Amino acid sequence: MITTQGISSSLSAQRELPIGLFDSGVGGMTVLRAMREQLPNESFLYLGDTARMPYGTKGVDTVKRYAMEAAAKLVERGIKLLVIACNTATAAALPDVQAAFPHIDVVGVVEPGAEAACRATKSGYIAVIATSGTIRGRAYERAILRRMPEARISALACPLFVSMVEDGLLEGPLAEALAARYLDQIFHDPREQGLEVPDTLVLACTHFPLLRNAIAHVAGEGVTLVDSAGFTARDVRNLLQEKHLARGAGPDVGMPLCPGSVRFLTTDDVPRFTRMGELFLGIPIAPCTVELVTL
């Protein structure tokens, strides 16, 4: 028999667990950064599947398998909620991962990104840039049109942005040249012809916000850049509160894990992952907090 006391003590034990996040590499750290800001009392366990990135150029069944394996690794370590901090994996596998782990909430990044876009646009003309996998699946178009049926959407795959970010090449002439190569057809060329351009650009890959300056420069004035991170963190905060799983607000302050602590799992090259993590999160990462794992 489960007593009320049993239920509440298992809830407090669950509350102490970290939030799990995964991405193919370091891109999901843009989501982790927003979550650390909005959920300062929580701990996080982040998995970057760097050995198998990029996900965006792979077929949907392969991405599904990778996402399942990454999710299983995090669940096995003990997490209270899972964030798929990768648009490609969210688009390919969110319902499958939710069905495979029904005892925890699994949150994706596509719906929050679509929400951010619909709130930002005034003209209703939205551009979406993402990996080839995300664009092919049309997940963003569906999510935007569900909220705003009159929206006009230009969707474009920009796969090379991912390797650029993983190499730490975030600004400067090379980043801007690549951004122009992709984005001129949406912004520069129509402007030259006196045509309307989108007023909102969704960075629909969690790697892309790291190239924000180069992308904004090429998109030009009057274009608002949005991404999933802030709204994903907001959704997670609301969900944890609803489920009484938010940490640090109740009698269990003074918990064993430090609030805001982050641990990392990576499938390849720990020193490189640590270096990039420090760069993207802006916090020192102790080597003992990064573990090499096989999926």
Supply the minimum distance, in Å, between the C-beta of residue 56 and ligand DGL. Answer: 3
Among 48, 56, 209, 230, binds ligand DGL (CB under 6 A): 56
Q: Which residues contact 2 (CB under 8 A, 6 or more apart)?
A: none
One-letter amino acid of 37 = E
φ, ψ for residue 269 (rounded to 5)? 40, 80
By CB under 6 A, residue 231 contacts ligand DGL: no
Q: How far is the CB of 235 from ligand DGL (least distance, A)?
A: 16
Residue nearer to ligand DGL on the CB measure, 17 or 162: 162
In eight-state DSSP terms, residue 32 is: H
Q: Does residue number 87 form part of the binding site for ligand DGL (CB under 6 A)?
A: yes
187 touches ligand DGL (CB under 6 A): no
Using alpha carbons only, what angle is made at residue 262 by residues 229 and 278, rounded to the nearest 5 degrees?
75
Task: Kindly state the smallest distance separating residue 181's Cβ from ligand DGL, in Å.
Answer: 18
Catalytic annotation, residues: 86, 205
Q: Which of 24, 121, 224, 267 binds ligand DGL (CB under 6 A)?
A: 24
The residue with its CB nearest to ligand DGL is: 56
Per DSSP, the three-state class of 184 is: coil
Q: Which residues in the 196-215 window bind ligand DGL by CB under 6 A? A: 205-207
Residue 200: which H helix or E strand, with range? strand 200-203
Q: Which of 14, 50, 121, 131 binds ligand DGL (CB under 6 A)?
A: 131
Question: Omega of the bond prior to 54 within 30 degrees of 0, cis?
Answer: yes
Query: Is 86 near ligand DGL (CB under 6 A)?
Result: yes
27 is a site residue for ligand DGL (CB under 6 A): yes
The enclosing H or E element of 153 equals strand 152-157
Q: At what angle do helices 87-100 and 139-147 cross, to 10 degrees?
A: 80
Closer Cβ to ligand DGL, 117 or 197, answer by number: 117
| By CB under 6 A, residue 232 contacts ligand DGL | no
How near is the Cβ of 88 to ligand DGL at its closest, in Å?
A: 4
CB atoms within 10 A of CB 295: 16
How far apart are alpha carbons 47 and 252 in whole angstroms? 27
Residue 39 β-bridge partners: none
Q: Quick check: 54 binds ligand DGL (CB under 6 A)?
A: yes
- To which H or E segment does residue 290 belong? strand 290-292
Provide the mask over 152-181, with x wherever binding to ligand DGL is found by CB under 6 A and - wherever it is not.
----------x-------------------
Token duo for residue 215: 């992308």
Q: Which helix (H) or strand (E) holds 40?
A: none
- For ligand DGL, the closer CB: 42 or 49: 49
Using CB under 6 A, list all residues that contact ligand DGL.
23-24, 27, 53-56, 86-88, 131, 134, 162, 205-207
